[in-house]
Every structure is written in C-alpha cells, then in structure tokens.
Amino acid sequence: MLQQTRVDQALPYYDRFMKRFPSLCALAEAGLDDVLKHWEGLGYYRRARFLHETAKRLAEVNDPSLEHLDGCPGIGPYTRAAIGSIVWGAALPVVDGNVNRVMARMLALPVAPVSTEGRRAVLEQLEKWIPAEAAGDWNQGIMELGATVCTPAAPKCGACPWSAWCKARAEGTQDRFPIVPPKPERPHKHGAAAVIRRKDGRVLVAQRPDGGLLANLWEFPGGLLEPGEDFSAGCARAVEAQVGLAIETSEEWVQVRHAFSHFSLTLHVFCATKVIGRPRARLCQAWKWLPEGELRTLAFPRAHWPVLEKIEQAAK
C-alpha cells in the first residue's frame, strides 16, 4: 500500500483491509472482486491484484521464506527487500523516496538518486552500512528518518542522529539535494461515460478487462475520447464499442477531473435518453444491470465516484 502512497493516506485503507483479511490465508481465499472493493480509492490497483495473487501462491507453501517470494507478481527489489528484511531479517537495503533523499544528502550525491548511476551509488553505500543483526529495524529507521527528520523542505538537522556524518549538512547544501531530473509533461485526455438505465431502474455497469489500467474494476460504460471528438457523440461511440449498445444522451450531467500517474483526465458523464440493443461484452469482460442501491458493492475507479454520489443524490 505504501508504494506511491503516503502512510497517513494509506492507514484507513490498511485498517479496513486488515480487518477484512486478517491473515495470508484469508486474503488468499477471498475473491478478487472482494479484494478490489477493499482497495477501492487507493489507486494503482495492480498492487491489489498482485498482492492477492502472491498471497494465493504463498498460502500453498508450508513455511514461506524469501525464496518463495521470488517470481511472485509485484515483488520487485523494493518489496522483496522490505518483506525480506522486516519478516526474515535478510540484510537487504530498502530504497524508497525517503531513503533516497537521506542518502543523497548524506553523500551530497552529484547525480539524481533515481538515475542509474545514482541508484548504484546509494545501494552500494547502503549495503556497506546495513547491520546484518537488525536489517529490518534499520531499514524502517532510515525510511522514518526521511519521513520525519530529513524532510524535503527544511530538514531538522539538529535532531538528526546522522548529522555528524552528513556531507550536505557539513557543506550547508541540504537544499540542493536530492537532484531531481526534469519531469516529463503529463498529457491531458478526455473520456466519456454514460449512466444507462433499464425500465425497471437498474443501471448498467461494465467490468474493465483483466489487464491494463484499472483492470477488473467496474465502471459506467464509456471510454477514452479521440482528440477533438465531440463529447456526446464520443460517449455514444465509446459505449457502443464497449458494451454494444446504441445510445442517445442528454446534456452533460457530471464532469469529473482526475489525475492518473501518467496523464490527467476530464470525464464527461451523460445520461442515456434512448437505448437500442442488448449489452454485449466487447471491450469489457462482463456487464451487469444493478439496482442503484447495489452499485456500492462493486469496486469503481475514483473518477467514477462523483457519478455514484450524483446518482445517490438524485434518488433522495
């Protein structure tokens, strides 16, 4: 949960998740929809799918160890080192954004710590320093140091246990580190979705494919628009492409802005005023007609939450 997410943001999700899945086996035995529902809102849903898959694999092993983690989905160097050191005491340094900042200042690192050269320099130094007898505590200590003392702005060097060895502090250059490479510009995209109702009031939802962005989550039918495409016509086109229905729409009902890691999105939401045909799973893996009151039982991407709220308000 803490990959790309701050502790204070993740904590309520963590508590809810652990209450529902208090053990590896509880998580392994759960259905994916249930896991995604308890991850809903945290973003980067691939992490939830990988965590679930890894739990299933480890639950089959009698006495899991570090080697059983290798090859499990979502277990890269960071997660491997974090689990390995904290659970089994392996002397593997954990490198996250906080650790990079501390190390860049400790070493007055002349390159970005996220560059190949910077990564190597940070890791080599950490491998020399990490104590074999308390690797997990040490890793957590540096991460905490970065989160609470060696903060991005105004590091509290007077309270830092490493200040005597810190090059940047000795030079008075703390604010110059870490070196940050220029960020590529994030493109902006438009998408459209439709609230499609059946005569009995049920609403159509579609489940996204089992791979790619927001995999397996449920949404109001639609999709991304072509550059310059008319929002309403694009909505009808995207709905037909995804669930095979021809629709006509009212005026735009809700507009949502949302930022993903690689692009930002404006989602234009319409109500279908005319619907022709029967739903088919074309660019989705499944669809359902659901009573309004049951929509919240499914996991929706955050960009669709305002639509759920608007439906609930309209029902009052």
Which residues are near ligand SF4 by CB under 6 A?
A: 102, 105-106, 149-150, 155, 157, 160, 162-163, 166, 168-169, 174
Q: Are 237 and 220 in contact (CB under 8 A)?
A: no
CB nearer ligand SF4, residue 100 or residue 249: 100
> CB of residue 126 vs ligand SF4: minimum separation in angstroms?
13
Q: Say which residues have a Cβ less than 8 Å from residue 215's Cβ, sequence separation at least 6.
A: 45, 46, 49, 208, 209
Q: Which helix (H) or strand (E) holds 258?
A: strand 246-259
CB nearer ligand SF4, residue 96 or residue 219: 96
Q: Are 147 and 159 in contact (CB under 8 A)?
A: no
CB nearer ligand SF4, residue 168 or residue 194: 168
CB nearer ligand SF4, residue 144 or residue 226: 144
> CB of residue 156 vs ligand SF4: minimum separation in angstroms?
6
> CB of residue 188 vs ligand SF4: minimum separation in angstroms?
36
Q: Are 205 and 296 in contact (CB under 8 A)?
A: no
CB nearer ligand SF4, residue 27 or residue 107: 107
| Alpha-carbon span 242 to 26, nearest angstrom | 34
> CB of residue 139 vs ligand SF4: minimum separation in angstroms?
16
CA-atom Rg of the chain in angstroms: 24
167 conformational bin, left if phi > 0, alpha if psi -120 to 50, beta if neither: alpha
> CB of residue 117 vs ligand SF4: minimum separation in angstroms?
20
